[in-house]
Structure 1
Amino acid sequence: MIVYAIIDCLKKCGSAVPAYAKIATSDTKIEEASNQKLSSPNKEEIAKPEIPVILSNSEAEYATIERFLSKMAREKPVRFSSAQLEEFTDNFATVLGSGGFGVVFKGVLPINGVHLAVKMLNNNWDKRVEEQFMAEVATLGRTYHINLVKLYGFCFDPSTKALVYEYMENGSLDKILFDESREIEWEKLHDIAVQTGKGIAYLHEGCERKIIHYDIKPGNVLLDKNLNPKVADFGLAKLCNSEGSQRTLMVDGRGTPGYAAPEMWKPYPVTHKCDVYSFGILLFEIVGRRRHFDEGLSESRQWLPKWAWEMYEHMELKVMLSLCGVEERNREKAERMLIVALWCIQNSPEERPSMSNVVQMLEGSKEVNPPPCPFDHRPSPGSMFSAARGGNDRESSDTYSSSKTSFGKIHSNHVQNTFEIELASE
């Protein structure tokens, strides 16, 4: 089951494994052997048959999650009751937004006045929501970085399932980035890019084991009252199918077309470099203050990455920046950001830089070499976007944003029954 896969990952990460997890490891075998010697050094143990307890599937699943949450409660996130959530949210008075898994309400901790965002999960509790819930609690509760959204706690009652986050006053980045009426200084946009990169770099390089986000985009970058960014909504993203070292993705609900790296749509192994690709697309959008694909524009300018590459090839990036409204005094940093973005979206994952190098290049502390063409052997974006239209809607952020981007549901034939918290391959 998923929980045992999660526990096995926690064991590999050096985290304590709860007693209920009967996972065969060298440590447990040594401990069992030691206990046998201490308890009965001179006589044989008489094996007593265990009487099995028969539970229904729903009872067994609920009990499994309960044991998982009991373990997590001893870690960091706090377990709240449904009555406490009603108190925090003034009986769910203020809606912040809605997403694929439920509705987000504004709340306040009475004891200290800290503002909260309470994500109430939908009542139609299914396997997908269960996986997202446990992954968020297991991972957000164990990651600590100024550029990652903080999970204060959770609620898991028979009638109420919820996740309690820190409140981010300015919502998601896409609401500001693509709103022409919102004025924002270029220096702040550059800072948002750098700080977001640092948050992703922490996931890849600062944790005990690398963590892949899988869905980096403006809708999953939240902004506080000072427009400081925090990466959010990466609990579900760290769940994937696993069979040995080959990580074949269940693409249904994974990633977002246009932001997802090419390898995510193919039965190829996926590493943390898929996040680098997505971050590159985000950089293009920050510079252009527009969506990466806009069919309302002339064909040469519809897809931002292609337009940027063509302008770079012809040494006309400054012309592009002028058309994007970037002022002269900011064009050096903006040009560097575009070139870094071209490195990030290289078709081959091996050609993409690490996130720590991306941050250094954006900050100007590392030289940015001329990038090769990133589009070799890649299908045109138009075909992908054409196939994407007319499908199910997915919210730009399940945590706060209610703005939607429509795309088709991509199906995978590589469906298996085992899951794990995805840890990036070395």
Structure 2
Amino acid sequence: MTPAVKLWIRRTDEIESGIRRLEKRILKKKSSIHCFPCCISSYRISRRATRMISDINDLCRESNFSVIPLSPRIESSNTLDPIFDEIIEEKVKMFSRQNLKNITDNFKEKLGEGGFGVVYKGILADKMLVAVKILNGNISDNLIIKQFKAEVNSIGRTNHFNLVRLCGFCFEKELKALVFEFMENGSLDSFLFDDKKRNSIGWKDQQSIAVGTARGIAYLHEDCRDNIIHYDIKPGNVLLDAKLCPKVADFGLAKICSRDASHITKTGFRGTPGYAAPEMWLPYPLTTKSDVYSFGVLLFEILGKRKHYETNALPDQEWLPRWVWKKFEEGTLGETLLGFEIDEKDKEAERMAIVALWCVQQQPEMRPSMSSVVKKLEGELKCNRPPNPFPHMSYNDSAILQRFSSNASSTLFTSTALVTAISSR
């Protein structure tokens, strides 16, 4: 096999990704009569390139060439278990149980543990570090299957610097797992809430983490082939690499919806109480604005490097969003920023606080889009004065709301129970 062919094989992944982006752009431009001939020409070129890549893959298989391993492609659900009907045709590698045992040295180093499983550190043959998420439950567990499909089907569609990358998966009777790129610094919550790590990130790091996370969510909402609503934006689901670059992770609750749909049908409570938007338990439709609310809560936590609700804080400082609004309304926001160890005259910090107040508006239509959030955080768009995010609540009522939402289980988190809580005050 010639060096030129080897080089083409090495570049196959990048070429295919570029072709998909080109064809997407072409389809958008075909509506314009002026650029139609150019689009047709580009489209023909892309189709020839696709056929060439297919020939190279065939040559690789026939030659049993193993120096540059290629990830097997999911061509259709006919070759896999029927539960993969919804998984899109993307290049992901399928691992066996034995593969994962070898990669993780028999599941030796545990990175963390959550509600759906345990995460182990692994290393691939090319020395790439990965995080292997082993899902709990047996093959008949509908919840595990649903979560597995949601993660593969949603994150498999993405390709963005601020989204964690899915490297592969395993789906066998004895083992169901997802393999992600390894993130050296773990999750954001440890840097915000751990006393030992809190001082290791400065204000500039806080800014870059906020903007990077916003960019990742904006990509899910507006730049993917289909809109993806994450539903569980929180510090634990934002991972940091060696350079503290943020990547949104954990798509187990994600929902894919058509770009033509203005909202999706509510099928039950989603997300983490305290971060979940009010429409999760009030009679509002669910849209991408649900993620905007969650990001707003996260933004307050990045700004203050504390949890959005702390029972051991002073009475008027327990719920961070309400406290920041109170200080903003009084014109003393600078004092709060000083408490966060930020210069009271820092315009970027004040801008972040105002953007967060816009994001947590009770009415979904009042919240900005995530692309607008990015531009506002970067200073490209002006931040107008936000309206009161809590227009129908006294301070005590809003505190009850947050205390209730932070402690309620999803099955008890209803508007009826909330009204009862407030009325019994």
Asked if Structure 1 and Structure 2 have the same fold, meaning a TM-score greater than 0.5 normalized by the shorter chain, the answer is yes
Query: 1:181 corresponds to which residue?
Result: 196
8 Å CA contact 2:88, 2:157 repeated in 1? no
Do structure 1's residue 195 and structure 2's residue 212 form an aligned pair? Answer: yes
Aligned mate of 2:266, from 248, 257, 263: 248
Query: 2:18 corresponds to which residue?
Result: none
Distance (Å, rounded) in 2 between the aligned partners of 1:172 and 1:187: 18
Distance (Å, rounded) in 1 between the aligned partners of 2:353 and 2:403: 26
Distance (Å, rounded) in 2 between the aligned partners of 1:320 and 1:199: 28
Distance change >3 Å, CA 177–CA 159, structure 1 → 2: same
Distance (Å, rounded) in 1 between the aligned partners of 2:382 and 2:373: 10
Matches within 5 A, 1:73-222: 75-110=90-125, 112-125=126-139, 126-182=141-197, 183-222=200-239
TM-score normalised to the size of structure 1? 0.73
TM-score normalised to the size of structure 2? 0.73
- 1:237 Cα shift? 2.8
Aligned mate of 2:399, from 370, 382, 391: 382
Distance (Å, rounded) in 2 between the aligned partners of 1:323 and 1:386: 23
Q: Secondary structure at the match of 1:162?
A: strand
> Which letter maps to 1:139?
S
Do structure 1's residue 410 and structure 2's residue 424 form an aligned pair? Answer: no
- 1:412 Cα shift? 7.6
Aligned mate of 2:366, from 336, 351, 371: 351
Q: Which runs of 4+ in 1 moved over 2 A?
A: 62-65, 67-75, 243-246, 377-389, 406-413
Give CA-to-partner distance per residue, 1:293-339, whole Å, 9 cap, x none: 1121121111111111111111111111011211357x221111001
Give CA-to-partner distance per residue, 1:163-222, whole Å, 9 cap, x none: 111111111100011123222111011000000000000001111221111111111100
Query: 1:320 corresponds to which residue?
Result: 336
Query: 2:248 corresponds to which residue?
Result: 231
**Does 216-225 or 177-186 show the bigger shift?**
177-186
8 Å CA contact 1:194, 1:359 repeated in 2? yes
Q: CA RMSD in A?
A: 2.7
Q: Secondary structure at the match of 1:211?
A: strand
- 1:67 Cα shift? 3.2
8 Å CA contact 1:257, 1:384 repeated in 2? no
How many residues align? The count is: 332
Distance (Å, rounded) in 2 between the aligned partners of 1:119 and 1:192: 24
Distance (Å, rounded) in 2 between the aligned partners of 1:309 and 1:80: 50
Aligned mate of 1:333, from 324, 342, 348: 348
Query: 2:307 corresponds to which residue?
Result: 291
Query: 1:4 corresponds to which residue?
Result: none
More helix by proportion, 1 or 2? Answer: 2
Q: Secondary structure at the match of 1:174?
A: helix
Q: Secondary structure at the match of 2:331?
A: coil
8 Å CA contact 1:73, 1:79 repeated in 2? no
* Percent of residue pairs identical: 51
8 Å CA contact 1:258, 1:381 repeated in 2? no
